[in-house]
A and B are shown apart, each in its own frame.
Chain A
Amino acid sequence: MAVKTLTIDDQLISAREEQTVLEAAREAGISIPTLCELHGLGDIGACRLCLVEVTGIAKLQPACTTRVAEGMVVVTNSQRLQNYRRMIVELLFAERNHICAVCVANGHCELQDLGLAVGMDHVRYEYLSPQCQVDLSHERFGVDHNRCVLCMRCVRACDEIEGAHTWDVMGRGTASRVITDLKQPWGESQSCTSCGKCVLACPTGAIFRRGSTVSEMERDRWQLDFIVTAREKKQWII
């Protein structure tokens, strides 16, 4: 196991070579905001919240998909990064209809937490206020597209861990939507095993248990990592 030495925010850190900058930073107690990343799922670098500055590379790099390298110098929290992060979070809020006060995930929502973390006191962009559907056809769960941020955690949890690949994404840009099977109502999906892993994965109130009322959607997200570790390492660690 080769070890790499790098600098993150002026801190000298050693990390295993297969680790990402995000993992190395976390181990060193440096927190970087994330959204599409979830322990137990493969990383796709989609949300861009974890962007960091790497000396010698002009473009910003997503910490969740960038491997550590010997002598790397990383900055995670410059003013420029803070500005971008706030912008990203504001754009997420402006893109769909996130009404925290009446949301099932209020108080347990990663998007809401991010809003706080980046100091979003208001949204500077015009709200798109799209017409989005709520699909309650599944007997145990529901999906409300008003609250989806297209992080694809549900897609990956279903594909990588459960192996059903019920979820996918259709459309482009702001018209993108997560779908079940070939855009069937969720309740009619033949591939869905009703395992509920997508419910565990979803960071917002988009996927929820039927019958949930305001603020009731709490999730045991660690269970996904637990299953993956158990499967891959034969270790059952809670």
Chain B
Amino acid sequence: MSQRIVIDPVTRIEGHAKISIYLNDAGQVSDARFHVTEFRGFEKFCEGRPFWEMAGITARICGICPVSHLLTSAKAGDAIMSVRIPEAARKLRRMMNLAQIMQSHALSFFHLSSPDFLLGMDSDPARRNVFGLIASHPDLARAGIRLRQFGQNIIEMLGGRKIHPAWAVPGGVREALTEDDRSAIRSRFPEEIKTAMTAVGLFKQILKTHDTEARVFGNFPTLYMGLTNPEGKWEHYEGHLKFIDSSGNVVADNLDPARYAEFIGEAVESWSYLKFPYYKPWGYPGGAYRVGPLARLNICKFMGTPLADEELGQFRQMNPGAANGSFMYHYARLIEIIASLERIGRLVDDPDIMHTHPRASAGINQNIGVGVSEAPRGTLFHHYDVDDNGLIKKINLIIATGQNNLAMNGTVKQIAQHYITGPKIPEGVLNRLEAGIRCYDPCLSCSTHAAGMMPLQVQLLSPDGTLLDEARRN
């Protein structure tokens, strides 16, 4: 008799999810699905609002990466106004995005994922969390918490608050940085660089003892997509989009992010609220691509700062062509923390950021505005259609976690196939499934913003595809 094993809910990711594993007659895993059952509907209730308000409203999609929505929304607003924002605003926004990437990655690594690595995947689940880490590795835990706090402090200095700062606006930013804030940021660098370097060193050790995880945690070919600048430098806020394949060959380059609809399709499956974006020319699901830290490192030629470039060199040596194992997301995240720190260090000394007119004003000069930036978890798109007065007629958001949806499903299946051979799931395996998903640091509250009621459907299928059982919720 075929069986379905349900793991619900997955812990230590942002939001809620459910995994279904399908067994065949022989008791082996034939398929596995990562369901997202949360429904939000942001796209619907933004309709009819002035586009200036979008930055504030869409930032509320998420308490973890509000800055990404804020900046991307402000960029879509810049496009509607057709303005080139003042240089000070551009650099300050870049600084905030870097701080956001850094604090979010620190949360992912130190708080959410490192308990698995340092306390062991098979250790007591009650202790395998950040509190267990504080007990066993107090210095590391404290340093990680301080690193994240540093990122949050920068966001707070710029935006006036840690979470949901209403600071980036269409046309620029509301306020510049003060001299006091600059010195406060400077003074923390030595400590934070040290923490980041320790973490990356630690992860290289972890890799040695986690060979199986590296091999079966989402290790398969897909495309990779991200922003990069014209020279191929690692980018997070502007530039163009690039796709490479699993061997590192360029599939498409110099793509205008505003024309995303020409090369990104969005498929819908009845069993998840999360859409399935894919690279259009390769079709669905063949055009599966990954975004986020792993993709950004795979597609860039260099990081552009010394410490990060040195680490990228080692990363490349380990993963020639492109890194295809999602376990490497953790490594990529740590390298991005280093890069973000180094770049913030440069920006804070840039005289441009002290200019006191960081905001341009203009009316509605385009009816369509697309904003694109790299959120910690990957490329984020905000697309607004407005009427001639600036009221939103339609919005489309493509979120990082959505773009990793196909890869997350593949990861769940690969892990299930490797570790499960019968109807029972030992705790260690259960956690490996969750850890596989946590490689992507998925943020499900963001990615299920999409509108339209989709009934939740659970199907039990036999090996020949006949429906054995079905449950529906409308």
Residue numbers of A with Cβ under 8 A of B are 101-102, 104, 133-134, 136-137, 139, 142, 144, 187, 210-216
Contact = CB atoms under 8 A, between A and B. Distances in A.
Interface in B165-186: 166, 169-170, 174
B203 interface: no
Contact of B53 (A102, A133, A137): A102
B292 interface: no
A142 B169 CA distance: 18
Contacts, number: 43
Given A102-B60, A133-B48, A142-B50, A210 B390 contact: yes
Given A136-B391, A213-B52, A213-B166, 7 more contacts: A102-B57, A136-B389, A210-B50, A213-B169, A214-B55, A214-B166, A215-B166
B33 to A, nearest CB: 35
A134 B166 contact: no
Contacts of A210: 50, 52, 390
B166 A137 contact: no
B287 interface: no
What's the dominant secondary structure at chain A's contact region?
loop
B459 interface: no
A128 B174 CA distance: 35
B48 A134 contact: yes
A100 to B, nearest CB: 11
B115 interface: no
A136 B55 contact: no
B56 A211 contact: no
Contacts of A187: 389
A235 to B, nearest CB: 36
Interface string B332-363: 00000000000000000000000000000101
B53 A214 contact: yes
Size category of the B interface is: 10 to 19
Contacts of B164: 101
B49 interface: yes
B390 A136 contact: yes
Contacts of A134: 48-50, 391
Interface string B19-50: 00000000000000000000000000000111
A216 B168 CA distance: 12
A213 B390 contact: no
5 tightest Cβ-Cβ pairs between the two chains A and B: A214-B56, A136-B389, A214-B166, A213-B169, A102-B56
9 contacts: A101-B56, A101-B164, A136-B391, A137-B389, A142-B50, A187-B389, A213-B55, A213-B166, A214-B56
A31 B53 CA distance: 34
Contacts of B52: 210-213
Contacts of A104: 53
A238 B448 CA distance: 53
B361 A101 contact: no
A210 B391 CA distance: 11
Nearest to B389: A136
Contacts of B391: 134, 136
B60 A211 contact: no
Nearest to B160: A215
Interface centre among B49, B53, B57 (most CB of A within 10 A): B53
Nearest to A135: B389
B239 to A, nearest CB: 26
A137 B164 CA distance: 29
A136 B164 CA distance: 26
Nearest to A187: B389
Interface string B221-243: 00000000000000000000000
Contacts of B50: 134, 136, 142, 144, 210
Interface in B40-75: 48-50, 52-53, 55-57, 60
Contacts of B60: 101-102
Interface centre among B48, B55, B361 (most CB of A within 10 A): B48
Nearest to B166: A214
Interface centre among A104, A142, A187, A211 (most CB of B within 10 A): A211
Nearest to B392: A134
A102 B60 CA distance: 8
Interface centre among A104, A136, A215, A216 (most CB of B within 10 A): A136
Contacts of B174: 213, 216
A107 to B, nearest CB: 10
Interface centre among B55, B56, B164 (most CB of A within 10 A): B56
